[in-house]
Chain A
């Protein structure tokens, strides 16, 4: 197990005019499980390949613990990457696949057999060990690919969207399996995904990436409560935002003036509020009127889509709060302590 530190890491593919990954500064602690989260094409796979040594950075450095590994060949890094499409070698049995890395290290045959046996048991693959990859289901192939990586007891485990090819039910099962194995082995793990829910369910910390840059790092909670940009809020499913201008503890925007508790500097800002923080009715402060466009009963709560001066916001309120409001103009309040203010830098 080692920590992984990325310093100003950038990579441009040959023939490409803009970098796929730019100035990444990020440290993953020993034994930590970090999700690298971001939309398609943002540079997640590129980052993993840089850490694995499959790509050479255009600039920047990579450290495993105190060791600089930027120039170390992939086979000597002890960072093992598991690809999205499993990539089991088709002409080898599952057992041979799982033992591949150990054989490449020229370990003693008995040692190999024993370690392969152990990991096959952990991954519940014993009965399938004689089969070829083509004779396995997607979930089984995924387990075999994981076993092939884990048997090497890598310092760093790099998982590239390991669940994206599985159906919903299997995904839950595999996610829990990965989590429990990661916990018991304590292997430093980077888990790439484009699904924020998956990231939240798995990771100690999330690193959110857009356009080749890491935008925000932290526990999942902060992405909901204190997103660093409107785009991040939106990526985490919150589109309740409006632009305004902040002065002292007031934000002026197109639907009026709000009191906030934020210490953000004066200037142009974006105001974000979570759907469940918006209250029905006039609570004396920060109240405004909006048209309820749609009301959806969700069992435990109601979900409303409201028209706030042209923007569509979402409100979540408990289901017993009432009558059919669809098509009506209703007053709402924003509790000042629940309003998140994002300064708009340089825009």
Chain B
């Protein structure tokens, strides 16, 4: 037996699982989104669910909010991650402790962070009460609205807090593996600190953190638990809409729920491609 064939045989169990669960699930979801649901006696193949979704008044605000939150959260996480990695790579007193604290968010589930943020920064939360007690504000309602707010600040906060170390540790590994040499070379060739960062460090880091940041972007765009807990109910992120439709008692909403999931996947795909192009442009322009 040749190696190619034996490889396929060895991979077969895994491939079967992936095909059945992933491709099967996708196909099922896709056919449901087209209105093919024999259980409730629907055998149509049409785009009704998609059209209804897109035409519904909440759709566009939700889409914009979703793009806003996922782009901003990813961007902030990447910027903070690179900045912190640049700092953490230097020697300083207490580096061990700081590094430990830095990695800590990785171990905390999103849900726990969301609940924590809720208890901490909502208008009835700990911080509002503390501010009220010490007289910074005269009424808890004066505390800035950070959860259930229009811009999803609470949601963004949770994601940034969670994902900074995720990207930061990758950036740190890249930085440490390349040492100071390239920077020193750039400096002696006449680049100042900013130019060295922009034209040497950044292009060396970007390929390393690109996959990680894409994962985060796709995750923020499509996961629902954090905006479900901390987001406004209208407009809500697309994932929350999808969840609501899916859990609707009326099975007629099921095609729309599936259509929403498919749409989310398509949007993620488009935006990720766009993001990759953008990073490559930055890389090329670094020369």
B182 partner, pick from A87, A148, A158, beta carbons under 8 A: A87
For A77, the chain B residues whose CB sits under 8 A away are 188
Kindly state whether residue A81 has any CB partner on chain B within 8 Å.
yes
B192 and A105 contact, CB distance less than 8 A: no
| A55 CB, nearest partner CB in chain B, Å | 9
| A78 CB, nearest partner CB in chain B, Å | 8
Which of A93-101, A238-246, A272-280, A304-312 lies at the binding interface?
Answer: A93-101
Kindly state whether residue B153 has any CB partner on chain A within 8 Å.
no
Kindly state whether residue A54 has any CB partner on chain B within 8 Å.
yes
Kindly state whether residue A168 has any CB partner on chain B within 8 Å.
no
Indicate whether A83 sits within 8 Å of B287 (C-beta atoms), given known contacts A73-B192, A105-B190, A149-B189: no
B287 partner, pick from A74, A79, A91, beta carbons under 8 A: A91
| B14 CB, nearest partner CB in chain A, Å | 34
Q: CB within 8 Å of A: which of B250-284? A: 283
A148 and B189 contact, CB distance less than 8 A: yes
Kindly state whether residue A75 has any CB partner on chain B within 8 Å.
yes
Kindly state whether residue A323 has any CB partner on chain B within 8 Å.
no
B287 and A101 contact, CB distance less than 8 A: no
As a 0/1 sequence over residues 19 to 34 of chain A, the CB contacts with chain B under 8 angstroms (1 = contact) are 0000000000000000
| A96 CB, nearest partner CB in chain B, Å | 4
Q: Smallest CB-CB separation from A145: which chain B residue?
A: B185
For the complex, count residues of A whose C-beta is within 8 A of B: 29
Indicate whether A79 sits within 8 Å of B182 (C-beta atoms), given known contacts A91-B283, A92-B287: no
| B261 CB, nearest partner CB in chain A, Å | 38
Indicate whether A91 sits within 8 Å of B203 (C-beta atoms), given known contacts A75-B190, A104-B195, A152-B190: yes
A96 partner, pick from B182, B204, B287, beta carbons under 8 A: B287
Q: Smallest CB-CB separation from A48: which chain B residue?
A: B188
User: What separation, in Å, do the CA atoms of A80 and B185 have in the docked complex?
Assistant: 9
| B123 CB, nearest partner CB in chain A, Å | 49
Q: CB within 8 Å of B: which of A54-104? A: 54, 73-75, 77, 79-81, 83, 85, 87, 89-93, 96, 100-101, 104
| B250 CB, nearest partner CB in chain A, Å | 54
Q: CB within 8 Å of B: which of A164-180? A: none
For B192, the chain A residues whose CB sits under 8 A away are 73, 75, 104
| B184 CB, nearest partner CB in chain A, Å | 5
Q: Smallest CB-CB separation from B284: which chain A residue?
A: A91
For A162, the chain B residues whose CB sits under 8 A away are none
Consensus secondary structure, chain B interface: helix
B189 and A49 contact, CB distance less than 8 A: no
A75 and B181 contact, CB distance less than 8 A: no
User: What separation, in Å, do the CA atoms of A149 and B283 have in the docked complex?
Assistant: 23
A91 and B191 contact, CB distance less than 8 A: no
For B91, the chain A residues whose CB sits under 8 A away are 14
Point out which of B182, B188, B204, B286 has the most chain A C-beta atoms below 10 A from its C-beta: B188
As a 0/1 sequence over residues 2 to 42 of chain B, the CB contacts with chain A under 8 angstroms (1 = contact) are 00000000000000000000000000000000000000000
A104 and B190 contact, CB distance less than 8 A: yes
B189 and A80 contact, CB distance less than 8 A: yes
For B287, the chain A residues whose CB sits under 8 A away are 91-93, 96
Kindly state whether residue A341 has any CB partner on chain B within 8 Å.
no
For A38, the chain B residues whose CB sits under 8 A away are none
B203 and A81 contact, CB distance less than 8 A: no
User: What separation, in Å, do the CA atoms of A139 and B134 have in the docked complex?
Assistant: 70
User: What separation, in Å, do the CA atoms of A54 and B184 have in the docked complex?
Assistant: 7
B199 and A104 contact, CB distance less than 8 A: yes
Kindly state whether residue A52 has any CB partner on chain B within 8 Å.
yes
| A89 CB, nearest partner CB in chain B, Å | 6
Kindly state whether residue B200 has any CB partner on chain A within 8 Å.
yes
For B195, the chain A residues whose CB sits under 8 A away are 104
Q: CB within 8 Å of B: which of A272-310? A: none
For A96, the chain B residues whose CB sits under 8 A away are 287
A101 partner, pick from B190, B203, B204, beta carbons under 8 A: B190
| A162 CB, nearest partner CB in chain B, Å | 14
A54 partner, pick from B187, B203, B283, B286, beta carbons under 8 A: B187
Q: CB within 8 Å of A: which of B77-124? A: 91
User: What separation, in Å, do the CA atoms of A89 and B186 have in the docked complex?
Assistant: 9
For B191, the chain A residues whose CB sits under 8 A away are 75, 100-101, 104
Kindly state whether residue A227 has any CB partner on chain B within 8 Å.
no
Report which B residues bind A (CB closer than 8 A). 91, 181-182, 184-192, 195, 199-200, 203-204, 283, 286-287
In the A-B complex, the 10 residue pairs with the smallest Cβ-Cβ separation, listed nearest first, are A101-B189, A96-B287, A74-B187, A87-B185, A104-B191, A81-B188, A104-B190, A101-B190, A92-B287, A75-B190
Name 16 extra pairs, CB < 8 A, besides A77-B188, A89-B203.
A52-B188, A54-B184, A74-B184, A74-B187, A75-B189, A75-B190, A75-B191, A75-B192, A80-B188, A81-B185, A81-B188, A91-B203, A92-B287, A100-B186, A100-B191, A104-B192
8 contacts between A and B (CB under 8 A): A14-B91, A73-B192, A75-B187, A80-B190, A92-B286, A92-B287, A104-B192, A104-B199
